[in-house]
Each structure stands twice: as structure tokens, then as C-alpha cells.
Chain A
Amino acid sequence: MAETLWAGLYCPGLPLKAVWQGVQPETPVAVHDGSLRIVQADAPARRLGVRRGQRLGSALALVPELDSRPRDLRAEQRLLENMALTAYRFSHQVALAPPATVLAELGGSRRLHGGLKPLIAGLDDDFQAQGLGIRIGLAPAPAAACLLARHAIRVASLKMLRHSLAGLPVDALMLEPGVTRQLAGCGLKTIGALMKVDAGERARRFGPGLNRHLDQIHGHQPTPLAQWQPPERFARRLEMPVASDRAEALLFACQRLLKPLQTWLEVRDRALVAVRIGLCLEQGGKLDCRIGLARPARDRQRLKELIRLKFDAINLPGPVSALDLRAVTTDQHRPTQQDLLDGTRHGDQWPALIDRLGARLKPEHIVGLAPGADHRPERAWCWVRPGTTRPCSDQRPRPNWLLPAPQPCRRAGLDLEEGPERIECGWWDGNECRRDYWVARDRHGRRLWVFREYQPRSGWFIHGYFG
């Protein structure tokens, strides 16, 4: 069995990222907590002197143009779940370590990815693509990986781990402030110094929790972890950083949900049949739109194209403040699915064209034609989903075109050429009719399909054109 090796994936800018959602702000920005203290500030703000823990008032006095927003813990949790989803592509064992770290076991999957280096590079690329800069730490124990991630230290063996940990300050242990102060009071500055203290002595002076923590970090004791699993259903909400009614802005926001969606589809091995997007309006109310796919698919680019077409066609009554995206109908993915349209050289592009059309047209406007099982000509046809028609073998004369409903006409101008064909049926469902159909020519020379009806009405009707 491969040696276990845990990766800690730490996102330093998580609180800022969660609030600003990939928008490039023009002014220095920060996030503050409930007691109006700065939690995190971006680089320009830090250069101007904004510090973590500073009062919002002091920060604003330093940088008047600072745009600080309240911390959004739920958005942070969602972002952390996104990180876990991405990590799940590389590992079968993933756990959340809030506030800003995800743990993934890589020992079991390093061979699959051709070694540790490509695996780490792949992870890094994937997070970069999502606009999340992460620090990666490696250690044989999960608790240590979580700790080392903040310092981007990578070690593979327990011996190396012990050595690396010894050099770190005790602050890195992220203990309660009281304990940290106590340690400082004793002159214990590094973890190495702390480890030199007798274990019994440590327990007596700083409580039994510290020893357990140190054991877990050094891999002497297992760390209890809650395994993370990708959710059964994909439903995400995205608050727009700035409410907008421009299709382009909505698409940009939506795009941020498509990457996790695709990852989710991959890790759950499912395919998309439709996507439901709810546009929450700033003035209240919600606009729902559904984007269906002709064939289950996972392709993000194609979905983006369809969403663009949909958004272009939508008439928004006001700015949108949030987006809800739900993968409504997911189905087991069958890449080799065959259908009637597959005979074409472009078997796979056909559904794409139907989808493109469907993004602007109603589904009932894109149809195929099928014969109906009825003798009455007005019921002997029906619209069906494209490509799902039935063959028919009726050899009686029929016109190329049928009028949607027969139109009354006068017998006078008509030359009857062929017929009659008696159609008498419908007595079983109450739509009884008795007609004689003729092929006729009108005074312009057009060939028509006409009938003389005896029941329920009597008279002459045009039912179709041969031309």
C-alpha cells in the first residue's frame, strides 16, 4: 500500500474572494466582521496601512476610499466546498478544515497522475483557473498538512516533518490566545522548544489538549476527520457583487458557476440534461429560465454558449442581484448513445444545432413530423421531438400541404379529377364524420385536395394543396 501523504490546500485570500467573487475592484478593498474590525484587506489597502484586527473607523481614516464589506461566512463555506470539489478530482479522501483549508490524501492517487509533481502541478493549475491562489503543504499527517499549508512547507517523511515543525514558531499551532500567551511567558518560542519539554509537564501546565494536538501534528496519533463527499445535487447561488441587467455581466457571473458544475459532473460521473437558472431581481421577484440539452452532456463551453443565447433573448425588467443555478435533470452519462440523427457525418453537432435553436425558440417550435394513427386526415399527423418520428406506408393520394383546419369552399369553381375516397370514421369517440375526398383543380389551375362532407356538417371544404 502506498504511504499516506496529505496535502493541505490553504487559500489565504478566502474572506476577500468570497465577498468580491472575482470582480476586480478599482479601490482598495477589505472585509470586516460583526464587531467592525478588519478581517482581511487586499494588497493595495495593506500598503496604505490597513491591518488585520484594525477598527473599521481607523482603517477608513487611513484610507478614505477603502471599500469594506461585511464578511460573508456562507459564501466562504461555499467557496471552501468548491475547493473540496476541485480537490476531489485528485483524491478519494477529502476533508474540510475551516476556515480556509481543504485536506486531500494524495498518497493513494499519486501513481494515477504519474507521480507527485504532476499531481501537485495539476492541482495548482486547477485552482489558478478558478482564480484562487492557494498554498500547498504536504505532510504524512493531516493535522500537520493543515498547519504546513499556511507556510507552504512540503515534507514526505515523519522524520522530516519533525525537523520542519521544530523550526516553526508556536503561533503556527493556532492554539487559543490564552495558551499562546502562556507559552510565550515560559520563553517557549518554537515548536521544537515546546517538544523538548517533558510530556507530563506539558499536560500539567498547559492542559491535556496541547499534547493531543502535538501528537496529531507529529503523526503519533490519528486525527479524526469528517470525510467530505460531493453533494447529491448541484444547486448554487451566486450573489452579484454589483446588481446588473446587462446580459454580459450575468453571463460572466454565471460562468463562475459552470466550472464547479463541470467538476461536479465529472466527480459524480453524471451528465447534464438541463440547467435551471433563477435570476433574482433587485426589486423583488424571480425570473426562471430553463436551458435544455438535446443530449446529455458535460461540456462547459457549449453550455456557456447556450446560456449566452438565452440571456440575449431575455427581457429583464430590472437589475439582477443574485443567480440560482440548479442542475435539474441529471442522468447517467452514456457517451455512446445512438439516435436516429446519428447517421449523419456530423452526428455530434446535430444536437448542438438543435440546442442553439432551442435557446431562443420554444421547444414546441422545433419539431419533427410524424404520421398519426387515425383515418381522419386532420388527425393523421402530429408534431414530435426531432428525430423521433415513425415510418408510414400509406399509399392513398395525399397532398403535400394540409391546411391546419379544413376551409369551407364552393363547389362551383372546381374540376374534380380523381376520387372519391370515402372516409367514414370517428363514431367511437364522438367525432363521427363521413366525407368523400377528391383531387380537384381550381380556376387558377392549382391542384387541391377537397372533400364533400355529409356528417356532421354538410358542404364542400378545401383540406390541402398538392403544389
Chain B
Amino acid sequence: MNTHAIDHLLKQRQDLWRGRGGPSGPVLATGHPGLDARLPGGGWPGGRLTELLPSHLGAGEFELLLPSLARLTREGRPVVLIAPPMVPCPQAMAQRQLDLARLIVIRSRQQRNWAAEQCLKSGLCGAVVVWQQQALNRASTQALRRLQLAAESSRGAAFLIYHPGQRPPPSIATLRLAVAPGPRIRLLRAPGRDGDERWFGPAADNVVALHG
């Protein structure tokens, strides 16, 4: 029996949970070789919520997403940014080959989770990026849970970027990364895998121990 063929067939099934075998949904290459090598499945998981915890505002969290978002827009798949804390610079986006015609920004903060849910459920968006800015309470924890479920019903990638210093609620289903200036990345939690204490850079595959 050819195990490779079975493996290949199993990987095509998105509704199958494969334990530590990595995410079962479609995978989106990040555009950063160092990051791809460390993420389970080799890229951002589609149909699942990915959480980014930057140590500071502008530490490089968006820089990690940009190559994959740009590629999605070039393929004609819309990208929605919801409640970004600042204004995305059109010149910089265009320099990174992002097609501005496929970029939608939703500026409402009150309705951000609802809007994100709608976008994810529609199944039209290549990726949805939501910025979380308020202090987290019980209600917003529930909203995050809903977001997670909406992400699972969609094929697109869903990203949640926390405010620096926010403590996200515990979850087991999400991929969670810490981002420090540099950017330096640490895999806090990945489905079917334990967290990794080491920091690494997105470009090369060298592991850097960062103290303090």
C-alpha cells in the first residue's frame, strides 16, 4: 500500500482533524521562508483563527502578513482590514504589490467583530484581519469565540491582532504568535503542537535566543 497516496488523499480533506498532523485546511504561504518552515503545515492556516501578540504597536506584526495579503489581492481575492489602529499607507501597500482595488477597510470599532463574522461567513474574502483594541472582558471573550467559529466556517485566513499588553483568553484551536521588534517571532501555541520558547526571524532559518 502506498502510504504517500493515502497521506495525500487525507490532506485534501478539510473536514478531517488529524491530531498532530498539522492544520487540515488550506494553507497560505506567508512569503517568509523562516516563518513557513516553523508554522505547522508550512504557512498561515486557512479556515482557522491566527492570533498575533505584538510587544509594541508596529513591532512588525503587519509586515509578517503583508506578502500573503498582497498575493491574495493579486489573485483577485479581497482582503478586509477591520478597525486598524492607524492608516495603511497606500504608497507602501502598492510598493508591496498589494492591489488596492481589492483592499477594504472597515473603520467601525463598535461593530468590528460583527463585521469580521459577516466577512468570514460570506466566504468571499481571501483574508480578514481584525485589530482588537479594547480591554478584554467576558463579552469580548465570547465575541472572540464566535470569531473563531466563523473562521472555521470559512476557507479564508483570519487574523486577530491584539493590542500590546493584552492578555488573550485561553484557547486551544488557534495558532498564536508573539511578535517583537525586528521582527522576532515566537510560536506561543500551535494546534497539535506545544509552544516553542525560542525566538526566530522571518527571513532565514537561524534560531536566535533573545534575552530579557
Contacts and interface: CB of A to CB of B under 8 A. Distances in A.
A193 interface: no
A445 B92 CA distance: 20
Contact of B89 (A350, A352, A401): A401
B37 interface: no
Interface residues of B, number: 47
Interface stretch (B1-9, B28-36, B57-65): B57-65
Interface in A423-467: 444-448, 464-467
B105 A369 contact: yes
Interface in B87-110: 87-95, 100-108
A381 B183 contact: no
A83 B30 CA distance: 60
B124 A350 contact: yes
B172 interface: no
Given A368-B105, A399-B89, A356 B118 contact: yes
Given A445-B181, A466-B63, A398 B100 contact: no
B174 interface: no
B88 A401 contact: yes
A410 interface: no
A412 interface: no
A341 B104 CA distance: 11
A446 B108 contact: no
B108 A369 contact: no
Interface in B48-97: 54-63, 66, 76-78, 84-95
Contact of A353 (B76, B85, B89, B119): B119
Interface residues on chain A, size class: 35 or more
A404 B86 contact: yes
Given A367-B104, A391-B94, A361 B115 contact: yes
Given A369-B93, A445-B181, A400 B66 contact: yes
B56 A446 contact: yes
Given A353-B122, A444-B56, A401 B91 contact: no
Nearest to A346: B124
Contacts of A204: none
Contacts of B59: 444, 446, 467
A341 B73 CA distance: 11
Nearest to A395: B95
A306 B106 CA distance: 18
B140 interface: no
Given A341-B101, A367-B104, A444-B56, A399 B92 contact: yes
A400 B85 CA distance: 12
A466 B84 CA distance: 14
Contacts of B84: 401
A377 B54 CA distance: 26
Nearest to B104: A386
A390 B91 CA distance: 11
A353 to B, nearest CB: 5
A446 B59 CA distance: 6
A256 B209 CA distance: 68
A162 interface: no
B182 interface: yes
A128 B95 CA distance: 60
Interface string B98-139: 001111111110010011001100111000000000000000
B124 A353 contact: yes
Contact of A398 (B92, B111, B114): B92
A349 B124 contact: yes
Contact of B77 (A344, A391, A398, A448): A344
A389 B114 contact: no
Contacts of A401: 58, 62, 84-89
A371 B56 contact: no
Nearest to B87: A402
B89 A464 contact: yes
A402 B93 CA distance: 12
Nearest to A392: B94
Interface centre among A341, A362, A369, A386 (most CB of B within 10 A): A369
A356 B122 CA distance: 10
A396 interface: yes
Contacts of A341: 78, 101-102
Contacts of A267: none
Contacts of A353: 118-119, 122, 124
B14 to A, nearest CB: 18
Contacts of A340: 101
Nearest to B93: A369
Interface string A366-405: 1111110000010011010011011111111011111110
9 contacts: A349-B124, A353-B118, A354-B104, A366-B105, A367-B107, A381-B90, A395-B95, A445-B180, A467-B61
Interface of A: 340-341, 343-346, 349-350, 352-354, 356-357, 360-362, 364-371, 377, 380-381, 383, 386-387, 389-396, 398-404, 444-448, 464-467
Given A346-B123, A370-B100, 19 more contacts: A340-B101, A341-B102, A346-B124, A350-B124, A353-B122, A368-B100, A390-B100, A394-B91, A396-B91, A401-B84, A401-B85, A402-B88, A445-B182, A446-B59, A447-B58, A467-B59, A467-B60, A467-B61, A467-B62
